[in-house]
Amino acid sequence: MRAYKFLDAAGRAPFTSTPWPTDEWIESARVVPCREGVHAVLPDDLAHWLADSLWEVELEDPVVDSRHKVVAARGRLVREVAAYPDAVRELAAVGAWRTRDRAVDALRAEGLDALADAFAAASTLDDLAALGADLDESSWATSAAALAADAAHFALHGLPAQSPFVSVCAAGHFAAGPDGDRAAYDEGYAAERSFQSAWLVERLGILA
């Protein structure tokens, strides 16, 4: 099976620090999702595991399906997805602006039009990040605004996973509304992760 593997800047699996050589198979004695085995991801779940680099991998059957991942006993790197570093930075910016738009809607819903206008007028990620400095996060809408500023900050200065994670949390926060509906939060969070994965698939020309 062909799948994908995220690695850190040193070429290691982010959660286990296992080095992945470019010219040999990685093997595991057992396949236990989240504990043992060679873990990888299919295109529809890419955004759940963002890290420094993305590789196409080959997994030897049998392959076990698990939540947002697949696991096998053997796997090897096939090729690095060269366009990924630029793409994940672009994704962070896309997410920050989507989060800003949700924040503007939330602020207007609470009657905070002046603050909504300030966020709507932001034209750069630096401008958007700076708006978070003096925010009072005591309401649903101002918390949404703070998340937009954070998403912009991490898009500029964070690790690959940070800004997209803030964006999905912001989508959940907005969906939950002032009453904090947990089921709506989960739906909003999942929908934004799906959007991010689909965006990456299209941007990178991956066959889903």
Mean pLDDT of the chain: 96
The Cα–Cα gap between 195 and 40 comes to: 20
pTM: 0.94
The Cα–Cα gap between 51 and 158 comes to: 11
Residue linked to tokens 């649903």: 140
Listed ranges 29-38, 62-71, 130-139, 143-152; the one with the highest mean pLDDT = 143-152
pLDDT band of residue 208 (cuts 50, 70, 90) is low
Q: What is the mean pLDDT of residues 101-108?
A: 98
The Cα–Cα gap between 132 and 88 comes to: 23
Chain segment 7-20, per-residue pLDDT in tens? 999 999 999 999 99
Residues 6+ apart with CB under 8 A from 45: 68, 69, 197
pLDDT reported for residue 110: 97
The Cα–Cα gap between 46 and 198 comes to: 8
The Cα–Cα gap between 114 and 24 comes to: 59
Element at 52 (helix H, strand E): none
pLDDT band of residue 33 (cuts 50, 70, 90) is confident
End-to-end CA distance of the chain: 13
Share of the chain above pLDDT 90, in %: 93
Contact between 26 and 74 (Cβ < 8 Å): yes
What type of residue is 30? R
Query: Is 84's pLDDT higher than 90?
Result: yes
The DSSP secondary-structure symbol of 164 reads: H
Residues 6+ apart with CB under 8 A from 16: none
